[in-house]
Amino acid sequence: MSLSLVTPPATDLVTLTEAKAQIRDDGVAEDALIQTYISAMNAYLDGVDGVLGRALVTQVWDLNLPCFPANALRLPLPPLQVVNSVSYVDAGGVTQTVASFQTYDQNGVGFIRPDPGASWPTTKVQENAVTVRFTAGYGAASLVPASIRLAALMLIGSAVKNREAEIATSMSAPNPAVDRLLRPFTIQAFA
């Protein structure tokens, strides 16, 4: 199974203006560097490699599988907004689209399953025989929970304040306050 990003978030989790307000910088000389910190923080928190195991700002992903599961399929990177499509390679090698299926949420995690009385179709035996395209994330950056946004700003502030001392570790070893802010939103890695 694999995940591939189809459409990345259109915006960062926090803006340059928000980050500059956090670090009390009203100049422009360090804007490029601050933007680098914002990008690093996004990579640290968001997506398949992020510590939260979530999609934050709206993004589109493909989940590729060798076959359909026995019943329900758990989708990674909550929160799920919509399942755009479910396609598969049939036994004859032709790509088909599943016309109807159910999508549901369980404790904030999205799942899909066949309609009642139906089962998933048979696929060709091959890697990536099934592709589930889905849109995930809270929506706009402003809709991401305040605790996550505050933690992001704190990470950026810490990295800027302690450039040389913590540049290698500030994103990987957050302070206890950041940890407390992020803990409720951290989910188990998708395996």
144 with 110, same domain? no
More confident residue, 8 or 165: 8
80 with 104, same domain? yes
- At CA 45, angle to CA 8 and CA 30, rounded to 5? 85
Is the pLDDT reported for residue 169 higher than 80?
A: no
pLDDT of residue 130: 98
The distance from CA 112 to its chain's CA centroid, rounded to whole angstroms, is: 18
- Which CA distances in Å does 57 have to 1, 24, 69, 79? 23, 25, 28, 10
For the chain, the average pLDDT equals: 90
Q: Which domain holds residue 175?
A: 2-55+140-182
Average pLDDT over residues 37-64: 95
149 with 107, same domain? no
45 with 68, same domain? no
82 with 131, same domain? yes
Is the pLDDT reported for residue 164 higher than 90?
A: no
pLDDT of residue 160: 79
* C-alpha–C-alpha distance, residues 184 and 162, integer Å: 27
pLDDT tens, position by position, 77-133: 999 999 999 999 999 999 999 999 999 999 889 999 999 999 999 999 999 999 999
pLDDT of residue 108: 84
29 with 123, same domain? no
pLDDT of residue 162: 75
In a domain, 188, yes or no: no
pLDDT tens, position by position, 123-132: 999 999 999 9
The last residue of one of the domains, among 118, 136, 154, is: 136
pLDDT of residue 111: 97
In a domain, 34, yes or no: yes
Reported residue count of the chain is: 191
The answer to whether the CB of 138 falls within 8 A of the CB of 4 is no
Q: How many domains does the chain have?
A: 2
- At CA 46, angle to CA 45 and CA 52, rounded to 5? 60
19 with 45, same domain? yes
